[in-house]
Amino acid sequence: MDSTYLHGTAPVEQDRLSQLNRLLNDAALRELSLRGGERIVDFGCGLAQLTRAMARAAGTRAVGIERSSEQLAEAARQAAAAGETALVELRQGDVLTPPIEVQEWGTFNLAHARFVLEHVPDPAAVVRRMVRAVRPGGRVVLQDDDHDVLRLYPEPPGFWPLWQAYMRTYDRIGCDPYIGRRLSALLHAADATPLRASWIFFGACAGEPDFPLFAGNLLSILLGARDPIVTGGLLEPQLFDAAIEAIRVWATRADATLWYAIFWAEGVRR
Ligand SMILES: C[S@@+](CC[C@H](N)C(=O)[O-])C[C@H]1O[C@@H](n2cnc3c(N)ncnc32)[C@H](O)[C@@H]1O
Protein backbone atom coordinates (compact mmCIF):
# COMPACT_ATOMS: atom_id res chain seq x y z
CA MET A 1 0.00 0.00 0.00
CA ASP A 2 1.24 3.48 -0.80
CA SER A 3 1.43 6.05 1.96
CA THR A 4 1.50 9.81 2.37
CA TYR A 5 4.53 11.40 3.99
CA LEU A 6 2.91 13.88 6.39
CA HIS A 7 5.73 16.41 6.65
CA GLY A 8 6.43 16.72 2.93
CA THR A 9 9.77 17.54 1.30
CA ALA A 10 9.68 21.33 0.76
CA PRO A 11 12.98 23.17 1.42
CA VAL A 12 11.64 24.55 4.74
CA GLU A 13 10.90 20.98 5.88
CA GLN A 14 14.33 19.82 4.69
CA ASP A 15 15.86 22.59 6.85
CA ARG A 16 13.84 21.35 9.83
CA LEU A 17 15.00 17.77 9.22
CA SER A 18 18.64 18.92 8.97
CA GLN A 19 18.28 20.82 12.26
CA LEU A 20 16.72 17.72 13.87
CA ASN A 21 19.73 15.70 12.73
CA ARG A 22 22.12 18.25 14.25
CA LEU A 23 20.27 18.00 17.57
CA LEU A 24 20.04 14.20 17.67
CA ASN A 25 22.85 12.50 15.79
CA ASP A 26 25.59 12.59 18.42
CA ALA A 27 23.26 10.90 20.90
CA ALA A 28 22.18 8.37 18.25
CA LEU A 29 25.82 7.49 17.51
CA ARG A 30 26.51 7.03 21.24
CA GLU A 31 23.55 4.63 21.49
CA LEU A 32 24.67 2.76 18.38
CA SER A 33 28.24 2.20 19.66
CA LEU A 34 29.46 1.03 16.27
CA ARG A 35 32.58 -1.11 16.48
CA GLY A 36 33.83 -0.43 12.96
CA GLY A 37 33.46 -2.45 9.80
CA GLU A 38 29.65 -2.77 9.97
CA ARG A 39 27.79 -2.97 6.66
CA ILE A 40 24.78 -0.70 7.23
CA VAL A 41 21.45 -0.18 5.49
CA ASP A 42 19.34 2.82 6.52
CA PHE A 43 15.62 2.47 5.72
CA GLY A 44 13.94 5.82 4.90
CA CYS A 45 17.24 7.72 5.08
CA GLY A 46 15.78 11.15 4.25
CA LEU A 47 18.68 13.56 3.72
CA ALA A 48 21.11 10.81 4.81
CA GLN A 49 22.89 12.87 7.46
CA LEU A 50 22.67 10.05 10.01
CA THR A 51 23.41 7.47 7.29
CA ARG A 52 26.68 9.26 6.56
CA ALA A 53 27.46 9.69 10.27
CA MET A 54 26.98 5.94 10.81
CA ALA A 55 29.19 5.13 7.81
CA ARG A 56 31.84 7.55 9.09
CA ALA A 57 31.80 5.88 12.51
CA ALA A 58 31.92 2.38 11.01
CA GLY A 59 34.55 3.29 8.40
CA THR A 60 32.37 1.77 5.69
CA ARG A 61 30.00 2.82 2.89
CA ALA A 62 26.34 2.66 3.93
CA VAL A 63 23.26 2.08 1.81
CA GLY A 64 20.48 4.65 2.21
CA ILE A 65 16.99 3.82 0.95
CA GLU A 66 14.59 6.70 0.31
CA ARG A 67 11.42 7.06 -1.75
CA SER A 68 11.41 10.78 -2.49
CA SER A 69 13.51 12.17 -5.35
CA GLU A 70 13.56 15.61 -3.65
CA GLN A 71 15.08 14.10 -0.49
CA LEU A 72 17.57 12.07 -2.53
CA ALA A 73 18.67 15.11 -4.54
CA GLU A 74 19.27 17.12 -1.36
CA ALA A 75 20.97 14.13 0.30
CA ALA A 76 23.35 13.86 -2.67
CA ARG A 77 23.98 17.63 -2.62
CA GLN A 78 24.80 17.62 1.11
CA ALA A 79 27.05 14.55 0.79
CA ALA A 80 28.96 16.21 -2.05
CA ALA A 81 29.25 19.52 -0.14
CA ALA A 82 30.76 17.60 2.79
CA GLY A 83 33.14 15.69 0.49
CA GLU A 84 31.45 12.48 1.63
CA THR A 85 29.83 11.01 -1.48
CA ALA A 86 31.92 7.87 -0.92
CA LEU A 87 30.22 7.25 2.43
CA VAL A 88 26.72 6.59 1.15
CA GLU A 89 25.09 4.75 -1.71
CA LEU A 90 21.68 6.35 -2.16
CA ARG A 91 19.01 4.09 -3.61
CA GLN A 92 15.52 5.20 -4.58
CA GLY A 93 12.75 2.92 -3.41
CA ASP A 94 10.02 2.14 -0.94
CA VAL A 95 10.89 0.62 2.41
CA LEU A 96 8.14 -1.96 1.80
CA THR A 97 9.85 -3.17 -1.37
CA PRO A 98 13.41 -2.10 -0.66
CA PRO A 99 15.89 -1.97 -3.54
CA ILE A 100 18.17 -4.63 -2.09
CA GLU A 101 19.79 -7.05 -4.53
CA VAL A 102 19.00 -10.76 -4.22
CA GLN A 103 22.54 -11.56 -3.11
CA GLU A 104 22.54 -8.74 -0.51
CA TRP A 105 19.64 -10.03 1.61
CA GLY A 106 20.90 -11.45 4.88
CA THR A 107 24.34 -9.85 4.57
CA PHE A 108 24.07 -6.50 6.38
CA ASN A 109 25.35 -6.13 9.96
CA LEU A 110 22.93 -3.34 10.85
CA ALA A 111 19.55 -2.28 9.51
CA HIS A 112 18.41 1.05 10.90
CA ALA A 113 15.29 3.20 10.62
CA ARG A 114 14.49 6.51 12.32
CA PHE A 115 11.22 8.45 12.05
CA VAL A 116 10.01 6.16 9.26
CA LEU A 117 7.75 3.50 10.79
CA GLU A 118 5.41 6.27 12.01
CA HIS A 119 4.82 7.20 8.35
CA VAL A 120 3.94 3.79 6.91
CA PRO A 121 0.60 2.00 7.19
CA ASP A 122 2.23 -1.44 7.66
CA PRO A 123 5.25 -0.95 9.94
CA ALA A 124 5.38 -4.67 10.80
CA ALA A 125 6.04 -5.50 7.14
CA VAL A 126 8.88 -2.95 7.01
CA VAL A 127 10.50 -4.40 10.15
CA ARG A 128 10.26 -7.89 8.62
CA ARG A 129 12.21 -6.59 5.59
CA MET A 130 14.79 -5.00 7.90
CA VAL A 131 15.29 -8.28 9.78
CA ARG A 132 15.63 -10.19 6.49
CA ALA A 133 18.25 -7.67 5.34
CA VAL A 134 20.69 -8.51 8.15
CA ARG A 135 22.69 -11.69 8.66
CA PRO A 136 21.66 -14.05 11.50
CA GLY A 137 22.83 -12.30 14.68
CA GLY A 138 22.83 -8.93 12.86
CA ARG A 139 21.40 -5.83 14.55
CA VAL A 140 18.14 -4.07 13.79
CA VAL A 141 17.74 -0.61 15.35
CA LEU A 142 14.44 1.25 15.34
CA GLN A 143 14.04 4.85 16.50
CA ASP A 144 10.70 6.57 16.39
CA ASP A 145 8.19 8.96 17.90
CA ASP A 146 5.55 8.34 20.50
CA HIS A 147 3.87 11.73 20.37
CA ASP A 148 1.95 11.15 23.59
CA VAL A 149 5.05 11.79 25.74
CA LEU A 150 5.49 15.44 24.77
CA ARG A 151 5.05 17.89 27.63
CA LEU A 152 5.43 21.66 27.55
CA TYR A 153 5.64 23.34 30.92
CA PRO A 154 4.06 25.65 31.97
CA GLU A 155 1.54 24.31 29.44
CA PRO A 156 0.44 27.02 26.97
CA PRO A 157 -3.36 27.48 26.84
CA GLY A 158 -4.92 25.41 24.07
CA PHE A 159 -1.76 23.40 23.49
CA TRP A 160 -3.06 19.92 24.35
CA PRO A 161 -6.16 20.05 22.09
CA LEU A 162 -3.86 21.24 19.29
CA TRP A 163 -1.39 18.41 19.95
CA GLN A 164 -4.21 15.86 20.01
CA ALA A 165 -5.47 17.19 16.68
CA TYR A 166 -1.93 16.89 15.30
CA MET A 167 -1.74 13.24 16.46
CA ARG A 168 -5.07 12.53 14.74
CA THR A 169 -3.52 13.58 11.40
CA TYR A 170 -1.43 10.38 11.68
CA ASP A 171 -4.21 7.89 12.33
CA ARG A 172 -6.45 9.61 9.77
CA ILE A 173 -4.03 8.34 7.10
CA GLY A 174 -3.56 4.92 8.69
CA CYS A 175 -0.31 5.68 10.55
CA ASP A 176 0.39 5.28 14.27
CA PRO A 177 1.35 8.43 16.25
CA TYR A 178 2.22 6.18 19.25
CA ILE A 179 4.45 3.72 17.41
CA GLY A 180 7.40 4.31 19.78
CA ARG A 181 5.97 2.06 22.49
CA ARG A 182 5.50 -0.79 19.98
CA LEU A 183 9.07 -0.91 18.64
CA SER A 184 10.37 -3.89 20.69
CA ALA A 185 7.14 -5.81 20.02
CA LEU A 186 7.56 -5.17 16.28
CA LEU A 187 11.07 -6.65 16.45
CA HIS A 188 9.78 -9.70 18.31
CA ALA A 189 6.97 -10.22 15.77
CA ALA A 190 9.51 -10.03 12.93
CA ASP A 191 11.69 -12.86 14.30
CA ALA A 192 14.28 -10.67 15.94
CA THR A 193 15.15 -10.93 19.63
CA PRO A 194 14.63 -7.55 21.34
CA LEU A 195 17.75 -6.80 23.39
CA ARG A 196 17.54 -3.17 24.44
CA ALA A 197 14.99 -0.42 24.85
CA SER A 198 15.97 3.15 25.55
CA TRP A 199 15.06 6.81 25.11
CA ILE A 200 17.04 9.65 23.62
CA PHE A 201 16.07 12.82 25.45
CA PHE A 202 14.85 15.51 23.07
CA GLY A 203 14.16 18.75 24.85
CA ALA A 204 15.58 21.67 26.78
CA CYS A 205 14.74 24.36 29.29
CA ALA A 206 14.72 28.05 28.42
CA GLY A 207 18.23 28.63 29.81
CA GLU A 208 19.87 26.22 27.35
CA PRO A 209 21.30 27.67 24.13
CA ASP A 210 19.43 25.12 21.98
CA PHE A 211 16.03 25.82 23.51
CA PRO A 212 14.90 28.08 20.61
CA LEU A 213 15.69 25.24 18.20
CA PHE A 214 13.41 22.82 20.07
CA ALA A 215 10.60 25.39 20.28
CA GLY A 216 11.14 26.24 16.59
CA ASN A 217 10.98 22.57 15.58
CA LEU A 218 7.66 22.18 17.38
CA LEU A 219 6.18 25.31 15.79
CA SER A 220 7.42 24.22 12.38
CA ILE A 221 5.75 20.79 12.47
CA LEU A 222 2.49 22.26 13.78
CA LEU A 223 2.38 25.05 11.19
CA GLY A 224 3.17 22.49 8.50
CA ALA A 225 0.12 20.48 9.61
CA ARG A 226 -2.30 23.45 9.72
CA ASP A 227 -4.05 22.40 6.54
CA PRO A 228 -4.79 18.74 7.47
CA ILE A 229 -5.79 19.85 10.97
CA VAL A 230 -8.09 22.70 9.96
CA THR A 231 -9.52 21.45 6.68
CA GLY A 232 -9.78 17.98 8.21
CA GLY A 233 -12.10 19.46 10.85
CA LEU A 234 -9.80 18.41 13.70
CA LEU A 235 -9.65 21.90 15.25
CA GLU A 236 -11.31 25.25 14.52
CA PRO A 237 -8.91 27.64 12.73
CA GLN A 238 -9.18 30.29 15.47
CA LEU A 239 -8.29 27.68 18.13
CA PHE A 240 -5.34 26.52 16.01
CA ASP A 241 -4.04 30.08 15.62
CA ALA A 242 -4.60 30.98 19.30
CA ALA A 243 -2.70 27.88 20.45
CA ILE A 244 0.20 28.67 18.09
CA GLU A 245 0.35 32.21 19.51
CA ALA A 246 0.31 30.77 23.05
CA ILE A 247 3.27 28.52 22.17
CA ARG A 248 5.16 31.53 20.80
CA VAL A 249 4.56 33.40 24.08
CA TRP A 250 5.51 30.29 26.11
CA ALA A 251 8.78 30.08 24.17
CA THR A 252 9.81 33.51 25.52
CA ARG A 253 9.31 32.52 29.19
CA ALA A 254 12.38 32.08 31.38
CA ASP A 255 10.75 29.04 33.07
CA ALA A 256 9.66 27.21 29.88
CA THR A 257 10.71 23.57 29.34
CA LEU A 258 10.03 21.17 26.49
CA TRP A 259 10.18 17.49 27.52
CA TYR A 260 10.25 14.82 24.86
CA ALA A 261 12.08 11.59 24.02
CA ILE A 262 12.80 9.51 20.95
CA PHE A 263 11.99 5.83 21.52
CA TRP A 264 14.82 3.40 20.73
CA ALA A 265 14.56 -0.38 20.34
CA GLU A 266 17.25 -2.75 19.26
CA GLY A 267 17.28 -6.45 18.53
CA VAL A 268 19.16 -9.15 16.68
CA ARG A 269 17.99 -11.51 13.98
CA ARG A 270 17.26 -14.96 15.34
C1 LIG B 1 11.24 12.23 9.07
S2 LIG B 1 12.15 11.71 7.70
C3 LIG B 1 13.50 10.88 8.53
C4 LIG B 1 14.72 10.74 7.68
C5 LIG B 1 15.91 10.09 8.36
N6 LIG B 1 15.64 8.73 8.74
C7 LIG B 1 16.34 10.88 9.55
O8 LIG B 1 16.16 10.43 10.68
O9 LIG B 1 16.88 11.99 9.34
C10 LIG B 1 11.25 10.36 7.00
C11 LIG B 1 11.72 9.98 5.61
O12 LIG B 1 11.11 8.76 5.24
C13 LIG B 1 10.77 8.85 3.87
N14 LIG B 1 9.70 7.87 3.63
C15 LIG B 1 8.42 7.91 4.08
N16 LIG B 1 7.74 6.83 3.68
C17 LIG B 1 8.62 6.07 2.94
C18 LIG B 1 8.51 4.84 2.25
N19 LIG B 1 7.38 4.14 2.25
N20 LIG B 1 9.61 4.35 1.62
C21 LIG B 1 10.78 5.04 1.63
N22 LIG B 1 10.94 6.23 2.27
C23 LIG B 1 9.87 6.74 2.91
C24 LIG B 1 10.35 10.28 3.67
O25 LIG B 1 10.42 10.67 2.31
C26 LIG B 1 11.33 11.00 4.55
O27 LIG B 1 12.49 11.38 3.85
180-204 pLDDT, tens digit per residue, is 999 999 999 999 999 999 999 999 9
Q: Write out residues with Cβ below 6 Å of ligand 1.
A: 3, 5, 17, 21, 44-46, 50, 66-68, 71, 94-96, 114-116, 119-120
- pLDDT beyond 60 at 53: yes
Task: Give the model's pLDDT for residue 3.
Answer: 65
Q: Identify which of 50, 67, 112, 114 to mutate to test ligand 1's pocket (most ligand atoms within 8 A of the CB).
A: 67
Confidence (pLDDT) at 149: 98
Q: What is the pTM of this model?
A: 0.96
pLDDT band for position 7 (50/70/90)? confident
Q: Is the pLDDT of residue 74 over 50?
A: yes
- Rounded CA-CA distance 134/144 in Å is 20
What residue owns the CA closest to ligand 1's atom 13? 44
Confidence of residue 1 (pLDDT cuts 50, 70, 90): very low
Distance from the CA of 252 to the center of ligand 1, in angstroms? 32
Pocket test for ligand 1, best of 119, 120, 126 (most atoms within 8 A of CB): 119
In the chain, pLDDT over 70 holds for what percent of residues?
A: 99
pLDDT, residue 6, reads 83
The terminus-to-terminus CA distance of the chain in angstroms comes to 28
Tell me, which fold does domain 11-269 have in CATH? Rossmann fold (3.40.50)
Sort strands 108-114 and 40-43 into parallel, antiparallel or unpaired.
Answer: parallel
How far apart are the CA of 139 and the centre of ligand 1, in A? 20
Ligand 1: which atom is nearest the Cα of residue 17?
9
Domain boundaries, the chain: 11-269
Residue nearest to atom 1 of ligand 1 (CA): 115
Rounded to the nearest angstrom, the distance between the alpha carbon of 171 and the centre of ligand 1 is 17
Rounded distance between C-alpha atoms, residue 106 and residue 58, angstroms: 19
Burial of 12 (0-12, 13-18, 19+ CB in 10 A): exposed
The rounded distance, in Å, linking the Cα atoms of 52 and 88 is: 6
What mean pLDDT is reported for the chain? 97
Q: Which atom of ligand 1 is nearest to the CA of 42?
A: 6
